[in-house]
Structure 1
Amino acid sequence: MKKIGYIRVSTAEQNLERQKQQLEKVGMDKIYEEKVSAANMDRLELQKMLNEVKEGDIIYVTDLTRITRSTKDLFALIDILKEKNVNLKSLKDTWLDLSTDNPYSQFLITIMAGVNQLERDLIRMRQREGIEIAKREGKYKGRVKKYHNNHAGMNYAVELYNKGEMTVNRICEITNISRASLYRKLKEISIKFKIDKTSNNH
């Protein structure tokens, strides 16, 4: 069992030292550091940590906002860690404990999951209403492409796929990318490679 730390600030100008000192008081075997926004889970050091942690390890953060910024991402993270039998602890949010020894923590997670589902349903409802209004006004332009060329999570998924060391299911679990999206991206890359190769041969 190892104690793994994860510390993060939103910009390069901010300092990680305070978080590092707090975790080092607990005693860490390794600390992953990141200077990037937590708007989504597509953070390279976070994904690297999730790929490297082993069964029985405990991930420590100073508070949950360092590792996630939404309940949706928190539950996705919890699902990944539970499957790997890895615990997550926050120095600030002391109620959180993924082990079976803490039924109170599991109760709170269940309640939060219900609230999160309600929040998603309300967002989808508002989106549908907004789309209908936009269509009536002739302003609806369709869906914006989600996975652009510089999308960190997708690029990491493609990198893991090319290494050939794990299944597609595992890659999608680690990167939070759907199978369909990954296969579409791989197809795009394959087509582009064939076009480039043909162009170079002429």
Structure 2
Amino acid sequence: MRKIGYIRVSSTSQNPSRQFQQLNEIGMDIIYEEKVSGATKEREQLQETLEDLQDGDTIYVTDLTQISRSTQDLFELIDGIRGKKASLKSLKDTWLDLSENNPYSQFLITVMAGVNQLERDLIRMHQLEGIELAKKEGKFKGRLKKYHKNHAGMNYAVKLYKERGMTVNQICEITNVSISSLYRRLSEENK
């Protein structure tokens, strides 16, 4: 019966130290950590966590949003964890404690998962409304392009391409510009 921590932050710029501190306060045997968006299915450390589960283990998360992407995702995780005769506990969502086998637990999981999904949907809706308003006011320009017209690496790649002394693969390796981006820029210049 091990205590297994799972920590996730959405990007490399976010700091997971708060999650580490909270989980270490209750004593973990092992902690899995990853820096990946919760919206993606490619969560390798979560998969390792689930594969490592043994009978009687408990997975601890600081917050449900760290482990689940959606209501459906939460239900699939819970089924997988229960299938291995293990438990899941959330420090923030204290109602989530799969170690207790009672009918209210499943009811609360259903309700809270729905609330979490509603929160995400409302955040996304407000974000889209804000973007639309910013567009109308001329303040929203969209995501900045990685390879803008003054990007030194891209400009050097184009120059090398036009000199015809190297292959595209060699140029991209030297300039650290992707092949598709180089071809896209060349196509734009030819128009």
SS at match of 2:65: helix
Deviation at 1:112, TM superposition (A): 6.3
| One-letter identity of the residue aligned with 2:107 | F
Q: Distance in 2 between matches of 1:60 and 1:72?
A: 20
Partner residue, 2:27: 27
User: What is the distance in 2 between the residues matched to 1:33 and 1:66?
Assistant: 10
2:88 aligned with 1:77, yes or no?
Answer: no
User: C-alpha offsets along residues 46-74 of structure 1, whole Å, 9 cap, x if unaligned?
Assistant: 00111111110000000000111211100
Deviations 1:145-179 (A, max 9, x none): xxxxxxxxxxxxxxxxxxxxxxxxxxxxxxxxxxx
Q: Deviations over 1:118-148 (max 9, x none)?
A: x9xxxxxxxxxxxxxxxxxxxxxxxxxxxxx
Q: Which has the higher contact order (CA 8 A, sep 6+)?
A: 1
Gaps of 5+ in 2: 119-191
Question: Which deviations, in whole Å up to 9, do the C-alpha atoms of 1:65-113 show, x marking residues without a partner?
Answer: 0111211100010010010011000000111121344432122235568
Whether 1:36 aligns to 2:36 is yes
TM-score calculated relative to the size of structure 2: 0.56
Structure 1 unaligned regions, length at least 5? 120-202
1:68 is matched with: 68
Q: Count residues in correspondence.
A: 116
Paired-residue identity, %: 64
Which residue number corresponds to residue 46 of structure 1? 46
- Contact 1:40–1:68 (CA under 8 A) maintained in structure 2: no
Q: What is the alpha-carbon distance in structure 2 between the residues aligned to residue 112 and residue 93 of structure 1?
A: 9
Question: Shift in Å at residue 18 of structure 1?
Answer: 0.8
| Matched letter for residue 2 of structure 1 | R
TM-score, normalisation: structure 1 = 0.53
Match in the other structure for 2:4:
4
CA RMSD of aligned residues (A): 2.1
Distance 1:66 1:112, change over 3 A: closer
- The offset of 1:37, in angstroms, is 0.3
Measured in 2, the distance between the counterparts of 1:103 and 1:97 equals 12
**Structure 1: which amino acid aligns with 2:80?**
I
